[in-house]
Chain A
Amino acid sequence: MSIDDTALWWARHRAAGPERVPPASAHPTGMIRLVEPDASAVWLLPELPDNARPDVLDELGLPGIAVDQPNDTARVLAACLRCCWNEPTGPVWPAVPAPFDHVIGVFRAITGSRDERALHAAAMGAVRRLAGAGWVLFDEDTRVVRLGPRVASWSAAELSTLRELWRSLPAPPAGGA
């Protein structure tokens, strides 16, 4: 693969987020390939060095990209992690699909009492925002949530923090997924 092609793939990622490509296609330098569970496609995700990751913005005190309802969105992401990451001792990708109702159940448990309609609206908005940014994959028709390719960009140290979080979260309602 030429330098131009590699640059193009990096530019594509920068402009459009993680790219879903056929399994036998490109393998740009510096990108990891996340294979879908059924091996039908591959996600291309850049493998950034430690001093070039998005959390560097925090260290520098610079504002990152803003997101609406940041707290609710983060809670829904945590709930998705709790529901989809069924083997927290292993890697976070690809995890398993989970019904959206389970996510809402966890979300309800960690947000305290809240009006049911407001709860659903907040969770739906948050999961759509997360899906737009590639953190989760959300199928609106079947209401099934999966972790998105971007979760694979968490480092090993961050994953251990997330495991702590996973253990502290309430389990999803039994009998699903």
Chain B
Amino acid sequence: MTAGPELTLDQLAGDAAVERLYRQVFAVLARESGAMISDLELLDVDEAILDAFADAGRDGLTVDQAVAACRPIDPGLIHRRFEVLRDYGAISKVVDRPNERFHRAAFAPYVMLLFLRRLAEQGGQAELHQLLTLEHVSVTAPDAEPETGQTTISRLTRIFRHLGNELAILAAGSTAEQLGDHAQLLWGNKGLISQAEEVHTVVLNRWPQLDRECTALRVALAAYGDAVEKAAGRLIERAGTTRALGLLSVETWLSFARTANEDDLAGVLDTFVFDAPAPWFSPNLLTEAVESGRGANTVRQPPPRPEGPAAPPPDDVRPADDAASLRETAERLLGDGDAVAVSDVLDDAGDWLAARRLLADLTAIHHHPDLAYELTWSDGLHVDPGGSPSWVSDGTFRRGRTEDAA
């Protein structure tokens, strides 16, 4: 679109086609019209939608069919992504008319998605290698023109300038951590450079008139190589002094440790001096230690005991024994007889507050080891809806338990 104001209709149509393709391709990266996605899951949703279209065949899909095909994913999310993809033209109506329900998907977004996945997984190195291979094929093709060689060379020059500039700026001005994040630019650079040099040699031998462009490529390659050296040197230096071993990948450290010879390994510790572990004992320390040692008595002393025969504990800690008052209560309740019914006793007591106190006393008398009274319960039940305890189990309080036991 740099053709100036005098565009022909053909050029306009061509530009429109290119722009449409760009829009389609970037649809997978759009969060909504005009914004980038910020969530990796959305890429998965895009892929699911495009997969559904691929499986759908020639009829295309309605929105609802697409939602059904992407079943486990939230339908609302599918609807929104569907709209975004349609806005960008990645999905369009099968026939462009109102109320058309079936849609078809363009193939370019899916290809873009695959590229994005690969770039994300491998950091773009593989793509660069493939690009270089393709350029090599195109310049060695028998029907290649000098123009092909020129565009190839200028393209490669730009790529390596980009790489070299980014690395050089990072190496000069950023922290080692930032540098480490971009470390994938450093790996495999030897292969890249030699591949580019091969292309360069082919072009230079075939079209010697492209000497100027080839010089530019050589300069760019050398600059990239220098930037790599510089950045790697900085990383290694930082990793050596900060022990920030995470700056390089674990495998890199392992392969270094496995392949290095003794001198390389020893070189890691070249700048370190190890002190012999010799503590210093000043005379004051000795004196203090000796004096504190005399005071310290490590034999365990038993806790202090009272002297003389053990005095009886004071009255208030002896267990209370209310046998006398309990016996008195029992005699009062029994009177002259040998047995009395519990229900009668409770009735005599009047209200429930007094009755339950009596019941507690009876139970205590029954359980007291020194008192020969007995409280027995049987199955009967005295029911009196008007009474204060409205029902009373059939129980008997009698004397003579010790005689029974004996």
Contacts and interface: CB of A to CB of B under 8 A. Distances in A.
Given A15-B273, A165-B287, A64 B279 contact: yes
B282 interface: yes
A116 interface: no
Contacts of B294: 110-112
A65 B279 contact: yes
B279 A66 contact: yes
Interface string B352-389: 00000000000000000000000000000000000000
A169 interface: yes
Interface in B305-361: none
A70 interface: yes
Interface stretch (B145-153, B190-198, B296-304): B296-304
B268 interface: no
Interface string B255-279: 0000000000000000001111111
B278 A113 contact: no
Contacts of B274: 15
B99 interface: no
B252 interface: no
Interface string A134-177: 11000000000000001000100011011011001100000000
B280 A64 contact: yes
A91 interface: no
A14 B276 contact: yes
A165 B281 contact: no
- Chain A, interface SS category: helix
A16 interface: yes
Given A65-B275, A67-B279, A133-B277, A165 B290 contact: yes
A81 B298 CA distance: 24
Given A110-B290, A162-B283, A165-B287, A133 B273 contact: no
Interface string A13-37: 0111100000000000000000000
Contacts of A162: 283, 286
A38 interface: no
Contact of B277 (A65, A150, A168): A65
Interface in A48-86: 54-55, 57-58, 64-67, 70-75, 77-78, 81
Contacts of A165: 283, 286-287, 290
A63 to B, nearest CB: 11
A16 B276 contact: yes
Contacts of A17: 276, 278
Given A15-B273, A67-B279, A161 B284 contact: yes
Given A161-B283, A165-B286, A169-B290, A15 B275 contact: yes
B276 A70 contact: no
Nearest to B298: A114
A55 B282 contact: yes
Nearest to A106: B290
The CB with the most chain A CB atoms within 10 A, among B275, B283, B294, is that of: B283
Given A112-B297, A165-B283, A74 B276 contact: no
A111 B297 CA distance: 8
B270 to A, nearest CB: 13
A133 B294 CA distance: 26
Contact of A75 (B275, B283, B290, B299): B290
Contacts of B282: 55, 58, 158
Nearest to A129: B279
Contact of B292 (A15, A71, A129, A135): A71
A11 B273 CA distance: 9
The CB with the most chain B CB atoms within 10 A, among A111, A134, A161, is that of: A111
Contact of A112 (B283, B287, B296): B296
A127 B292 CA distance: 19
Contacts of B283: 154, 158-159, 161-162, 165
Nearest to A163: B283
Contact of A71 (B275, B276, B293): B293
25 contacts: A14-B273, A14-B276, A15-B275, A16-B276, A17-B278, A55-B280, A55-B282, A57-B280, A58-B282, A64-B280, A71-B292, A72-B289, A74-B281, A75-B293, A77-B286, A78-B286, A78-B287, A110-B293, A113-B299, A114-B299, A133-B276, A135-B281, A154-B283, A161-B284, A165-B283
Given A14-B273, A132-B277, A162-B286, 19 more contacts: A14-B276, A15-B273, A17-B276, A55-B280, A65-B278, A66-B279, A67-B279, A72-B293, A74-B285, A74-B289, A75-B289, A78-B286, A110-B290, A112-B297, A114-B299, A133-B278, A133-B279, A134-B278, A158-B282
Interface of A: 11, 14-17, 54-55, 57-58, 64-67, 70-75, 77-78, 81, 110-115, 129, 132-135, 150, 154, 158-159, 161-162, 164-165, 168-169
A-B CB proximity, top 4 nearest: A74-B289, A54-B280, A67-B279, A161-B283
